[in-house]
Structure 1
Amino acid sequence: MSAPAAVRPAALGAALLRTPAAGSALALLVAVAVFSLTTDTFLELDNLSLVVQQSLVIGTLALGQTLIILTGGIDLGNAAAAVLATLVMAQLVLSGLPGALALPLGVACTVLIGLVVGGLVTRMRLPPFIVTLGMLTMLTAGAKLLADGEAVPVTDPLLTWLGTRTYLFGGIEITYGMTAALVMYLVVWFALTRTAWGSHVHAVGNAPEAARLSGIKVNRTLLSVYLVAGVVFGLAAWQALGRVPNADPNAYQLGNLESITAVVLGGTSLFGGRGSVLGTMAGALIVAVLRSGLTQLGVDALYQDVATGALVIAAVVLDRAARRRN
């Protein structure tokens, strides 16, 4: 009778390695349970709502990052692109353009950046890490030059619309940004799991040469991923203006690393071909829950960074173990 009991933990561990999104969800539940027991205010509805709101921008950046990492790439300039887009939107409104035009032009800015990066990766065969590292430097400098180093206030109601608050069931505070993020995740999840394009993305990430030999247009798939990610990063800029109605060239300086952290904690492999956007959602929430819970426990922000970094390393170790097992 003892053999089945001994086998169950091993079987559970193997199942979690095969379904990383489930492991991320379990880690999220454990974190929530721990902080609920160790603090008096963590489970309050207002605090839980705030945690979700704090995860929105990084969670949206992580959504686009997931698509790129699934193909075996990485984007170090995603947060800088979103910040530049916020400044483009703000400056256009200040110049007299309505928000209804400034918003799509801001998103077009990040799409153009995605086109440039995707073109360099597919046509010039440059490593995504190098391309996006250079793009990070240029976009950061460009944002500061555009704003002259100063934050630009945003008052246009459309640009700040995602920050609009309402109440679910009369007591749970939510924002339109939460709903928008959920819709984005569901759309990308459907595209990755229920369409031929999603199958091609996974195939290219797993083995690009095998994908090419099977008839998949690898370069076209990669370019489409960078374009879709560009759209998502533009929507992250809109999320940022909903969170704080200020276009600040110094905002989200670590947003690229935090988005990668969310993706890795969500179970997406840094080696490409394996992952889930639902896992990324859990990963973004894990980061926000850790920040909130540790802050309420009085833990210094530097130690919070240490804890987050340790989790990332642990997630990569688990990913490596899963690949070896497979």
Structure 2
Amino acid sequence: MTTATATANSDRPTIGEFFLRAPAVGPALALVVAVLVFSFSTDTFLNLDNISLVVQQSLVIGTLALGQTLIILTAGIDLANAASMVLATLIMAKLLAGGVTGIFALLLGIVATVLVSGVVGTLVTKVKLPPFIVTLGALTMLTAAGRLFAGGEAVPVADGLLNWLGTRRYLFGGIEITYGMTLALVMYLVMWYALTRTAWGKHVYAVGNAPESARLSGIKVNRTVLSVYLVAGVIFGIAAWQALGRVPNADPNAYQLGNLDSITAVVLGGTSLFGGRGSVLGTMMGALIVAVLRSGLTQLGVDALYQDVATGALVIAAVAVDRFARRQR
């Protein structure tokens, strides 16, 4: 072997290094494989109506996962995101029932999720409490608050604006899409740009990768982390809007596993639970993987409990791949 050949081989990235540089590639390949498997094993999976339904079913969790991605990139976690979103839907519904206009109810619902995330972010950055403990406590309180606020009953929502994201249109005359799909795509593109093309995004990755090094390089770590929680709070409020577009009822018992489903989507999307590595595009793939898996297994007649087993196994495998990739680095 010549010296030039040896040098070329040494510059060639290993498998672990490749996935570290392009974390969205693995989830994209997994999504393609899942679609192909269910396309050959069922007769209805590739039906346009079914594909549209799969995407719609991933919307709310996918939006929660978008905010969750930002937090996990800073080596944090949010167990209260779904509970915060559900409380926001209840606030919107109750205000609407009380005679408040739809736009005002929507804004106050989003303000509520931002306030919750702001309190959590303050406790994490100023008091230095672990994100897991803070959001676990917030989950318990928000769940109880939602049920007390609604009296344990679902509140119907009939408002043009609050239900607007569920409005259906047909692309090319046959593909059903909703305004919620379009909004979700725009949000993912905006956050992709913010994380990859702005100084703020570089700071988020730096803080998640090595907070002390980031501080020594002049990055305001606490301010960056708090800003992440606030942005995530806005996203959770929009998720509440999407939830009301999907189902025009504010139910205090809805999305009880939404926090875990959002974490599942983030992990399957290639974002490291240890912070500093991942992408929102990978998270989009992760949310679609979960939806595709549940839809395909349902059409195959697999019991929902076994579907949960399969999803859990995928999460463990994704974390194992992440550990392997980090060791390779």
TM-score normalized by the length of structure 2 = 0.95
Alpha-carbon distance between aligned partners in 1 of 2:248 and 2:85, rounded to the nearest angstrom: 14
Say if 2:310 is the partner of 1:307: yes
Deviation at 1:11, TM superposition (A): 5.6
Identity of aligned residues (%): 79
1:53 aligns with 2:56: yes
Partner residue of 2:192 out of 182, 189, 192: 189
- Assess if the C-alpha contact under 8 Å between 2:44 and 2:50 holds in 1: yes
Q: How does 1:1-326 map to 2 (within 5 A)?
A: 15-326=18-329
Q: In structure 1, what residue type is equivalent to 2:274?
A: F
1:145-194 deviation per Cα after TM superposition (whole angstroms, max 9, x unaligned): 00000000000110000000000001100000000000000000000000
- SS at the partner of 1:20? coil
State the Cα deviation string for residues 288-320 of structure 1 (Å, max 9, x = none). Answer: 000000000000000000000000000000000
- Residue of structure 2 in register with 1:6 after alignment: none
Conserved in 2, the CA contact under 8 Å of 1:89 and 1:102?
A: yes
Secondary structure of 1:157 counterpart: coil
Alignment partner of 1:285: what SS? helix
Which one-letter code corresponds to 2:295 in the other structure? S
Q: Secondary structure at the match of 2:278?
A: coil
Where structure 2 has 5 or more consecutive residues not aligned to the other structure, the ranges are 1-12
> Counterpart of 2:78 in structure 1: which amino acid?
D
- Asked whether the equivalents of residues 163 and 242 of structure 1 are also in contact (C-alpha less than 8 Å), the reply is yes
Does the 8 Å contact 2:55/2:291 carry over to 1? yes
Aligned-partner residue type, residue 300 of structure 2: L
| Conserved? CA contact 1:122–1:219, under 8 Å | yes
Residue correspondences, number: 317
Moved over 6 A (4+): none
State the shift of 1:15 in Å: 2.6
> Where does structure 1 lack aligned partners over 5 or more consecutive residues?
1-9
SS at match of 1:173: strand
Contact residue 71 and residue 202 of structure 1 kept, 8 A: yes
Task: Look up the equivalent residue of 1:276 and give its one-letter code.
Answer: S
Q: Distance in 2 between matches of 1:309 and 1:20?
A: 20
Deviations 1:62-97 (A, max 9, x none): 000000000000000000000000000000000000
RMSD: 1.0
Instruction: Give the deviation of 1:12 after TM superposition.
Output: 5.8
Q: Secondary structure at the match of 1:170?
A: coil
